[in-house]
Amino acid sequence: MGLVGAREPGVGSRARGVAHRSVRLAAIAAAVVPDVDFLWSRHNMETHSLGAAVLAGLAVLAWTRGRDPRLALAVTLAWASHVLFDWLGSDDTPPLGVMALWPLTSEFYFAHAYVFEAISRRTWLPNFWSHNLGAVAWELAMLGPLAVLAGWWRTRRP
């Protein structure tokens, strides 16, 4: 696969469209996958690091046998964006922050920026659902316009 919008010999617009869609889907998945650590009670630890983002990109590069570095870069950046947004968010469960520089260090980093609400993991609280739905709505309100702008920018014709 070539660069976005590049003409490749023998590759029709339909094939390019499928390739672009695959990159988008892989990036969306990579942006969500760090939260798999909820399953083993290590949220905001190793999977919430730039090291894990690089490992994910290298895994994609190995899986595609080096033929799709653009896909590997998209996965790495999407994963890293999750780390960035969790670093900028609120946290209400110690240790606060994310293990952003793992495997270099197991230290937790917390921006104290409070851009995003903490997602509660305490299902027994009466406001669990209302709080988490409000937090997700805030994230969509903050990031949705950026996603729309990026989509518009990508599809505009020179």
Phi and psi dihedrals of 89, rounded to 5? Answer: -85, 180
Residue 82 has pLDDT above 80, yes or no: yes
Residue 85 has pLDDT above 50, yes or no: yes
- Which residues in 72-103 are b (16+ Cβ under 10 Å) and which e? bebbbebbbbbbbbbbebbbeeeeebbbbebe
Distance of CA 78 to the CA centre of its chain: 4
pLDDT in tens, 5-27: 444 445 555 656 667 778 889 99
The ranges assigned to domains in the chain are 13-110, 117-158
Residue 149 has pLDDT above 80, yes or no: yes
pLDDT in tens, 90-131: 888 889 999 999 999 999 999 999 888 888 878 889 998 999
* Amino acid in position 145: P
CA 127 to CA 101: how far, in whole Å?
33
pLDDT of 66: 94
pLDDT in tens, 32-47: 999 999 888 888 999 9
